[in-house]
Amino acid sequence: MLIVQALRGKVGMIKLGLEFFTACGLSGIEEISKCGIPIFLDIKLHDIPNTVAKSIKVIKNLNIRMLTLHIAGGIQMLHDALNVVQNTEIKLIGVTVLTSMNDNDLKQCGVEKEVRSQVILLAKLAKISGLHGVVCSALEVQEIRRECGEEFNIITPGIRIDSNNNDQKRTTTPREAITFGADYIVIGRPITESGDLVRSAELILNSLRYI
């Protein structure tokens, strides 16, 4: 809660991930929502269509602006999820390939396509299914924009300020991601582990001011 309060007015949304959700649950989301900052709930749902739809029914009345689910769950799962969020303000955002994965990781999972090709394939599937956008690394943004259009939301994680990539393998700077055409950039550890949340957020904002 202290992090959220400190960043009020500095960020467009607060991302709550799986770690937060498993520790704090629905009550944690409700508490964060009291701060008035829109919530990006990044729990990457991936299960049979019925289970995903019922899970979304539980959380759809919370103050959530965006919710992620894996495109690889299939068209039926995506359609059922979309039916649940009709008449709400929630945008369903499809996860393509995690930014912690590279070509070799995909091959180990039985996927012969290179990361870029797999990301584009999944993004096009998300578009056809009616999702509001996708999560991908900035390296794939321009091609997805060409394939899926200007109205398709592109959210870019794997943002790093320096050479410390942590466990990410496909990273870019905030400025690069925006220049490539991302609509939203997800910045976690470069802010939360910086020692000075507000100053770090302000420095990032200033770096984007004249793009």
- How far is residue 107's CA from residue 110's CA, in Å, rounded to a whole number? 5
User: Can 103 be counted among the known catalytic residues?
Assistant: no
189 has binding-site annotation = yes
Let me know: does 93 contact 134? Beta carbons within 8 Å. yes
Crossing angle between the packed helical segments 49-59 and 18-33, to the nearest 10 degrees: 30
State the catalytic residue, choosing from 44, 91, 113, 124: 44
96 has binding-site annotation = no
54 has binding-site annotation = no
State the catalytic residue, choosing from 10, 34, 47, 91: 47
Find where tokens 């793009």 sit.
211
Q: Token pair of 167, please?
A: 């466990």
User: Can 42 be counted among the known catalytic residues?
Assistant: yes
State the catalytic residue, choosing from 10, 34, 42, 167: 42
171 has binding-site annotation = no
Q: Token pair of 134, please?
A: 């996708």
Sign of the torsion formed by the C-alpha atoms of 97, 100, 103 and 105 = negative
User: Can 105 be counted among the known catalytic residues?
Assistant: no
Residues annotated as catalytic are: 42, 44, 47
Binding site for substrate: residue ranges?
A: 15, 99, 160, 168, 188-189
Binding site: residue ranges?
A: 15, 99, 160, 168, 188-189
